[in-house]
Structure 1
């Protein structure tokens, strides 16, 4: 079984996924609403939403995936809330590099640093509204986050 995070945006999906590709590796694949055939049965879009992303996929170097879309308000969509993406990283340098990229114009909840439960840990919400928990595990925990 595989769990795959699916992030919901309102007009920022392409920029977010291109940012995540730059920070985590891989290439963002984007399908936009204006590429759909006309007879899809979807509610009409506002003119400024035509280029919004219907589906985004980022396949990471380890094979895991991150998915997402722009969710127009008329589809009942809202920006994401109430969840976090936990990422286990291999080093303090890696966590700091990714943290710095995600924190740009975002909201830092906890700066990277050692904790009682992890060698290094950080929490933040990026400028697109996605909440992140970044961790370098302590030696011998053997737990995957």
Structure 2
């Protein structure tokens, strides 16, 4: 907020808050803001979901988001994905990382070739 050219956009205590942010995740752009900068910081009741193209990318992203955070559900194979997990980042935001359902894991590919 402190870099805003509009003096009315400088709420007290918001000097180090984010007015507008743009995050690029693969082909997706996520827009974010600290909003009105009021009240207690809380990220309960929702998770952000990121679909990745392969297991290696799932592992990489899960590890990065987990730095200083907490694993809620380890990355594992599920009935709906070759790799799915949940992690809260260091700010307490919950993330669901999933390998797209149309992507087969390396193990599944090997098993299918043997059939």
TM-based fold match above 0.5: yes
Question: 1:67 aligned to 2:35?
Answer: no
2:8 to 24, 39, 43: 39
Report the secondary structure of 1:35's partner residue: coil
Q: Which consecutive residues of structure 1, in runs of 5 or more, have no partner in the other structure?
A: 1-32, 141-145
Report the secondary structure of 1:34's partner residue: coil
**What does residue range 47-66 of structure 1 map to in structure 2 within 5 Å?**
49-62=14-27, 64-66=28-30
Deviations 1:63-111 (CA, angstroms, capped at 9, x unpaired)? x2111122422xx464322111111111111100000000011110111
Q: Specify the alignment match of 2:82 in structure 1.
A: 119
Q: Which consecutive residues of structure 2, in runs of 5 or more, have no partner in the other structure?
A: 104-115
CA-atom RMSD in angstroms? 2.3
* TM-score of the pair, normalised by structure 2: 0.74
Deviations 1:36-86 (CA, angstroms, capped at 9, x unpaired)? 21134x6x312xx31321111123441x2111122422xx46432211111
Q: Which stretches of structure 1, 4 residues or more, deviate above 4 A after TM superposition?
A: none
1:133 to 84, 91, 96: 96
Q: Whose relative contact order is higher, 1 or 2, with alpha carbons under 8 Å and at least 6 apart?
A: 1
How many aligned residue pairs are there?
Answer: 102
